[in-house]
Amino acid sequence: MLDLKLLRDRPEEVRQALDKRGASVDLDGILQLDRERRRLEARRGSLQAESNSLGKKVGELIRQGADPQGAEVAALRQQGADLKAEIAQLEQRERELEEEVRARLLTLPNLPLPSVPVGQDEADNVEVRRWGDELKPTHPVLPHDEVAEKLGLLEVGRAVKVAQSRFVAMVGAGAALERALIAMMLERHIAAGYTEVIPPFLVNSAALEGTGQLPKFAAESFRCADDDLWLIPTAEVPLTNLYREEVIPAERLPLYFCAYTPCFRREAGSYGRDTKGLIRLHQFQKVELVKVTHPTQSEAEHEKLVQDAEAILQMLELPYRVVELCTGDLGFSAARCFDLEVWFPSQNRYREISSCSNCWDFQARRANLRYKEAGQKGTHFVHTLNGSGLAVGRALAALLENHQQPDGSIRIPQALRPFLSSRFLSEDGALRTAP
């Protein structure tokens, strides 16, 4: 959530920053509501002072011998009662205006950092670097969904039967390979200093509001009809909200968390896109990285976060590139974001596998997540960062294509082999589908 004081003091600066994102917002309407609320607050303060003065005057008259039931005292008490009634009305209207201002602020996206390249959409994103050689196979490379079905790694039709379209069931060697990827990712991140968490897979509305999924992305989320609970779209939500409404001692920062969870998204508006395979599903597996940092640390921690996600792709020997998102392609909560895009030879292009975002204090304001310096008064908002480390299904899909051999077998990268049961690993390091 944006700082309301920033909107009051520098509205044109905020407007220009949001224009760079292509966001159409009614800042004037928010500021008008805020001015009205502050006007009422000032009026209420004046009436409260007047009410207090009347109370003192009544007490003084009675001490001087006036009849407590007399006309003069009764008239003053009636004035006091009228003032209290007006104050109560003002308080109610103030609360309504405050809630309306907050509701509107919740719809505003984060402001991009000045260093973010200006652009309209993904075509204006800026490539930062590449790693690995794009596979130019001399033999036909089957798309990952075709090779997965051919090798019996997944079931689509039966998964649809028990759920609906855009669900799959990983089976046999496919399930083992996905589990191995999750274990490898977690072990690497834990070694890098992250604390592993197994969070709730259901969260309340306040948690989704805290990280920015609500109210904007309600249509893309799965909600439990009888409870104020939602299936998580990403572990970013429960991990970032672990310390919601808390004050963290500054010396404990930064906090690093990682978690494997299933993730659930409706993929609203994506119909007709990536209908086959593991790229765009309603349920998918992901290892998520979240950092809670001191503001002075966040930019350096953002760079390290990207490197932590890159490390997994390098361990899997998957060619990829790092792309900085332009202002028009930034996620709602992000102030700056780098995407990792992995190479898919069957498509002859890179596909996103991780988004590493620095949200600055945007999520912290929504979640009231603060820190306190030792020996100093007052608290300040932390900065929050998040990134996929990695999306497991997409990593598996990229592995099936980039390590597909001329005979149709799948070579398992050396770093992954210790995490895959020997039942599914042949002597030459290929995936064994029939142990």
List all residues 6 or more positions away from 396 whose beta carbon is below 8 Å from its beta carbon: 144, 174, 177, 178, 181, 278
Q: Is residue 100 annotated as part of the catalytic site, yes or no? A: no
Q: What are the Cα distances from residue 159, in Å, to 201, 264, 283?
A: 21, 15, 11
**Which single residue is written with the structure tokens 């090798």?**
151
The CB-based long-range contact list for 404-407 (8 Å cut-off, 24+ gap) reads 404/137, 404/141, 404/142, 404/147, 405/430, 406/138, 406/139
Q: How far apart are CA 151 and CA 305, in angstroms?
A: 35
**Which single residue is written with the structure tokens 């480390």?**
389
Pairing of strands 229-231, 223-224: antiparallel
Q: Of these residues, 51, 355, 357, 409, which one is catalytic?
A: 355
What region does 152 belong to: left with phi over 0, alpha with psi -120 to 50, or beta? left
Q: How far apart are CA 362 and CA 371, in angstroms?
A: 14
- Listing from the earlier edge strand, what are the strands of the sheet with 223-224? 202-203, 229-231, 223-224
Q: Of these residues, 21, 37, 265, 370, which one is catalytic?
A: 265
Q: How far apart are CA 285 and CA 276, in angstroms?
A: 16
Q: Of these residues, 77, 130, 280, 351, which one is catalytic?
A: 280
Instruction: For the beta carbon of residue 429, count every other beta carbon within 10 angstroms.
Output: 16
Q: Of these residues, 21, 188, 394, 432, which one is catalytic?
A: 394
Q: Is residue 130 annotated as part of the catalytic site, yes or no? A: no
Q: Is residue 394 annotated as part of the catalytic site, yes or no? A: yes
Q: Is residue 352 annotated as part of the catalytic site, yes or no? A: yes
Q: How far apart are CA 399 and CA 391, in angstroms?
A: 12
**Please, is 64 exposed, middle or buried when counting C-beta atoms within 10 Å of its C-beta (0-12, 13-18, 19+)?**
exposed
Strand partners, 386: 290, 357
Q: Of these residues, 50, 104, 352, 426, which one is catalytic?
A: 352
Which residues belong to the active site? 265, 280, 352, 355, 394
